[in-house]
Amino acid sequence: MTVSRALFDQVMVPNYSPSAVIPVKGEGSRVWDQQDNEYVDFAGGIAVNCLGHCHPALVSALKEQGEKLWHLSNVWANEPSLRLAEKLTKATFAEKVYFANSGAEANEAALKLARRWALDKFGAEKSQIISFNKGFHGRTFFTVTVGGQAAYSDGFGPKPGDIAHADYNDLASFEALISDNTCAVMLEPLQGEGGVVSPTKEFIQGVRELCDKHNALLIFDEVQTGVGRTGDLYAYQGLGVTPDILSTAKALGGGFPIGAMLTTTEIAKHLKVGTHGSTYGGNPLACAVAEAAFDTVNTTEVLEGVTAKEALFRELLAEINAEFNVFAEVRGKGLLLGLALNDEYKGRAKEFMTAGVEHGVMALVAGADVVRFTPSLVIPEADIREGMARFAKAVAQVVNG
């Protein structure tokens, strides 16, 4: 069988529009396509491939577990899931873990738990959920409605109710919405899809204080920021604010699908037996790979290395911008970086991404005005420099037409 981009149009639902390039092999931060063209990967599968492609620790864990036990369902516990859960609780504020398959599922569980907690403790009136404009929390109907981008939730019929949206980094906007009827507030501790926007200290602390005042749970969506992406194991640890519930996925499995919801014992008890579940959640194969990824990332060497790599990216981006003057600012933290285009180039982020592919570097966008980098947390300096040299050529191509 000949596999080509044309086959996608023939057999796949048209909700994606992938590149004409079809990658077939990856190693570290390099990827090769069907024609054996090489690319430096600054996309990382959208902040998923935290250890690059085919990292030996992950390959070894996959092979070893693959010869032991693949799947049981949650009628039985399994060793990899219990080991991973224990490590997650020891490394974070959490005391209890719920495993799912994706970030959307982890967020769905968080929202359902918050609603059930509020119902049990305060009654049916306490059901409001507040989130933030331009936020992104997944593609289930509940999570996409909570997400602050109506374009993703419109057109599917009546939406889940009692959900309100404030403006990110605008504490007054948030304070005007929250009340004693608010059961939970969901936010990203660094907005990803919404343009790579960091929270101000006053905003994030103010949200926490208002949640406490109104007995509302604070949910941090760390699907994109978690597992070392910002230089902390989880972004909340660098903000001085602790959530009540945290969702994690993407990098948790280093490329193998897995998600998790983390919370306290007191809150977790409201998901009694039978109230929520997942056939594949806690799958031993996924958890074995995730344990290997977690063990590799959760080290001083890797986490401190993220900060050093961020500095190198910023240095090289400043050099590119000094020559071409296309970026208004470089946003983000660690290896979640957003290159915000200036007024002259606004709306053209995808052109920079497309030109990058032509010059052998894979990048992302975060909306129409921001180019996004989410590379491997262990990307070598040589690959950063080579990828940035290629990206400079892509920038030149867009600028010079």
CATH number of the domain that residue 126 is part of: 3.40.640.10
Say yes or no: 279 and 326 in one domain.
no
Residue written as tokens 């909570």? Answer: 146
Annotated binding residue 279: yes
**Do the annotations mark residue 136 as ligand-binding?**
yes
pLDDT value of position 108:
98
The answer to whether 104 is annotated as binding is yes
CA 283 – CA 207 distance, rounded (Å):
35
Quote the domain boundaries for residue 204: 57-297
Verify that 328 and 312 share a domain, yes or no: yes
CA distances from 43 to 36, 52, 184, 248, 283 (A): 19, 10, 32, 19, 27
Q: 73 and 41: one domain?
A: no
From 297, 327, 346, the end of a domain falls on 297
Based on the fold, state whether residues 119 and 239 are members of the same structural domain.
yes
∠ CA(313), CA(314), CA(317), 5° rounding? 85
Q: Are residues 285 and 320 in the same domain?
A: no
Distance from C-alpha of 385 to C-alpha of 313, rounded to nearest angstrom: 8
Distance of CA 92 to the CA centre of its chain: 17
pLDDT tens digits in sequence order for the chain, 401 residues long: 889 999 999 999 999 999 999 999 999 999 999 999 999 999 999 999 999 999 999 999 999 999 999 999 999 999 999 999 999 999 999 999 999 999 999 999 999 999 999 999 999 999 999 999 999 999 999 999 999 899 899 999 999 999 999 999 999 999 999 999 999 999 999 999 999 999 999 999 999 999 999 999 999 999 999 999 999 999 999 999 999 999 999 999 999 999 999 999 999 999 999 999 999 999 999 999 999 999 999 999 999 999 999 999 999 999 999 999 999 999 999 999 999 999 999 999 999 999 999 999 999 999 999 999 999 999 999 999 999 999 999 999 999 98
Contacts of 362-368 spanning 24+ positions with Cβ under 8 A: 362/31, 362/39, 362/40, 362/41, 362/42, 362/43, 363/42, 363/43, 363/391, 364/42, 364/43, 364/46, 366/192, 366/193, 366/194, 366/195, 366/196, 366/338, 367/134, 367/193, 367/194, 367/195
278 is in an annotated binding site: yes
Q: What's the confidence (pLDDT) of residue 401?
A: 84
Q: Are residues 141 and 75 in the same domain?
A: yes
Residue 59 in marked binding region? no
- Domain ends where: 265, 297, 329? 297
Just list the catalytic residues. 136, 221, 250
Helix axes 381-400, 300-324, angle to 10 degrees: 30
Q: Are residues 287 and 182 in the same domain?
A: yes
Same domain for 98 and 49: no
**Domain match, 259 and 290 both:** yes
d(CA 179, CA 215): 9
CATH number, domain of 394, equals 3.90.1150.10
Residue 331, marked binder: no
The single residue listed with the structure tokens 């030149």 is 396
Name the domain count of the chain.
2
| Same domain membership, residue 337 and residue 203 | no
